[in-house]
């Protein structure tokens, strides 16, 4: 029962023990992983299995929650949560963010980089219980990876991200490039401008180059529009077969141009120097690493008693940590950003972050 799973999460909270509870995109099953000690496990061996939580800065430690206990619930259903309407515009950061965007555009004009992703952190009051917030996220973002992650030595995070970093099944590999944003308008077909299409091409081309010699037979699917909350994005899926270790593949991608910029080193340095806050785990990645699944297959041969054989499949499914918040008691910190190119308009970039923040702010109400 879903209520039993939530009760188990509450027990972990009360005992200050790590846990994560999550639902994959377009699924009803909710999974909970519970650690039986408060040890902080730093991932050093990428052959280990568990739930990983990684920061934006790829030089910082990746946290692993081992699967000491796993519970699943399939009956969350489609319960509706009414989110209040209202004006959630907070102008206090407007000038600061516009100045930041203008600085990024100026560096692009000097050929320091082609694109940079700039973000801000919004402070808000969380007026609802943590588990209720998680249920609202589940109900609101049915096509996203929704999660609640807790470690007493790190903090409490919730989110709903539409972006896959890496999905693997044995050596088979899938990733995506996600860029461009516009408001979702019911009943209207989206029209994308040159700025968004260029941004998407930059991300896709980077991924192809980064995975050279690490993935064979890399193929890109057709460009598509996807919905995430109240906004739309452009997405291209890419797939192939890994010929390198999963750590090498992940570190070749992270942080991607969709959350950092191009080229990566220069834009990361600019972000760390100019955003004036620590992203921590926002625009990092999280998810299942090296989960084992037993496959039983029938040979369909007659008159054979042992006609079923078993194989073990190893799979990983990691998501970029977008549309997220960090909770500290009754204060929530919401993170929003956008890709900046030479065609960017600072005022429109500010408005884009406002639009992206609306759903999470309504969930907090």
pLDDT at residue 301 is higher than 70: no
What is d(CA 62, CA 39) in angstroms, rounded to the nearest whole number? 14
**Residue 52 in contact with residue 287, Cβ under 8 Å?**
yes
Give the DSSP per-residue string, 145-158. EEEEEEETTTEEEE
Long-range Cβ pairs for the range 191-200 (8 Å, 24+): 192/225, 192/234, 194/343, 195/341, 195/343, 195/344, 196/234, 197/234, 198/341, 198/343, 199/115, 199/234, 199/339, 199/341, 200/234, 200/236
What is d(CA 346, CA 333) in angstroms, rounded to the nearest whole number? 23
**Residue 294 in contact with residue 310, Cβ under 8 Å?**
yes
pLDDT at residue 22 is higher than 60: yes
What is d(CA 208, CA 199) in angstroms, rounded to the nearest whole number? 15
**Residue 3 in contact with residue 76, Cβ under 8 Å?**
no
Tell me the average pLDDT across 218-235. 84
Tens digits of per-residue pLDDT, 1-17? 899 999 999 999 999 99
pLDDT at 79: 60
Tell me the average pLDDT across 153-175. 94
What is d(CA 49, CA 5) in angstroms, rounded to the nearest whole number? 22
pLDDT at 185: 80
pLDDT at 299: 56
b/e for 267-282, b at 16 or more Cβ within 10 A?
Answer: bbebbeeebeeebbbb
Please state which of the ranges 20-34, 248-262, 290-304, 325-339 shows the lowest mean pLDDT. Answer: 290-304
In 3D, which of 23, 17, 133 has the Cα closest to residue 73?
A: 23
pTM equals 0.88
More confident residue, 147 or 92: 147
Unique residue bearing structure tokens 């992203």: 279
Residue 341 CB burial class (10 angstroms; 0-12, 13-18, ≥19):
buried
pLDDT at residue 177 is higher than 90: no
If one counts every other C-beta atom within 10 angstroms of the C-beta of residue 347, the result is: 12
pLDDT at residue 203 is higher than 90: no
pLDDT at residue 356 is higher than 80: yes
pLDDT band per the 50, 70, 90 thresholds, residue 194: confident
Tens digits of per-residue pLDDT, 59-118? 999 999 999 999 999 866 556 566 556 555 567 789 999 999 999 999 999 999 999 999
> Of all helices (H) and strands (E), which one includes residue 11?
helix 2-14
pLDDT band per the 50, 70, 90 thresholds, residue 187: confident
**Domain formed by 2-83+91-299+319-364, architecture:** 4-Layer Sandwich (3.60)
Give the DSSP per-residue string, 27-54. ---EEEEE-SS----B---TT--EEEEE
**pLDDT over 70, % of the chain:** 90
Q: What is the mean pLDDT of the chain?
A: 90
pLDDT at 313: 84
pLDDT at residue 287 is higher than 70: yes
Rounded alpha-carbon distances, angstroms, from residue 253 to 24, 203, 364: 21, 10, 32
pLDDT at 137: 95
More confident residue, 76 or 31: 31
**Residue 76 in contact with residue 138, Cβ under 8 Å?**
yes
Domain boundaries along the sequence of the chain: 2-83+91-299+319-364
What residues contact residue 145 under an 8 Å CB cut-off, 6+ apart? 22, 23, 24, 25, 160, 161, 162, 287, 319
Which residues face 114 on adjacent strands?
none
């Amino acid at each position: 029962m879903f209520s039993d799973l939530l009760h188990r999460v509450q027990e972990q909270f009360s005992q200050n023990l790590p846990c994560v509870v999550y639902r994959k995109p377009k699924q009803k099953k909710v999974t909970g992983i519970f650690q039986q000690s408060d040890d902080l496990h730093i991932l050093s061996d990428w052959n280990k299995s568990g739930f990983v939580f990684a920061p934006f800065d790829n030089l910082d430690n990746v946290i692993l929650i081992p699967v000491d206990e796993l519970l699943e619930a399939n009956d969350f259903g489609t319960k509706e949560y009414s989110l209040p309407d209202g004006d959630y515009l907070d102008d206090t950061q407007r000038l600061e963010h516009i100045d930041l965007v203008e600085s990024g555009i100026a560096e692009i004009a000097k050929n320091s980089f082609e694109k940079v992703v700039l973000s801000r952190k919004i402070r808000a009051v969380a007026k609802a219980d943590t588990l209720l917030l998680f249920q609202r996220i589940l109900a609101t973002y049915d096509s996203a990876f929704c999660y609640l992650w807790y470690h007493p030595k790190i903090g409490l995070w919730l989110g709903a991200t539409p972006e896959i970093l890496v999905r693997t099944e044995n050596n088979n590999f899938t990733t995506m490039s996600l860029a461009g944003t516009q408001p979702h308008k019911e009943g209207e077909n989206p029209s994308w401008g040159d700025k968004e299409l260029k941004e998407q091409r930059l991300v896709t081309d980077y991924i192809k180059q980064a995975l050279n010699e690490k993935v064979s037979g890399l193929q890109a699917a057709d460009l598509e529009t996807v919905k995430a909350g109240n906004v739309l994005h452009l997405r291209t899926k890419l797939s192939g077969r890994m010929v390198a270790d999963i750590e090498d593949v992940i570190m070749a991608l992270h942080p991607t141009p969709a959350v950092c910029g191009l080229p990566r080193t220069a834009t990361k340095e600019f972000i760390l120097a100019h955003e004036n806050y620590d992203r921590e785990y926002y625009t990092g990645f999280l998810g299942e690493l090296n989960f084992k699944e037993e496959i039983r297959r029938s040979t369909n041969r007659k008159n054979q008693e042992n006609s079923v054989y078993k194989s073990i499949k190893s799979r990983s499914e990691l998501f970029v940590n977008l549309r997220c918040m960090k909770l500290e008691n009754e204060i929530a910190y919401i993170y929003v950003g956008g890709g900046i190119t030479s065609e960017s308009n600072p005022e429109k970039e500010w408005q884009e972050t406002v639009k992206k923040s609306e759903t999470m702010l309504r969930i907090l109400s």
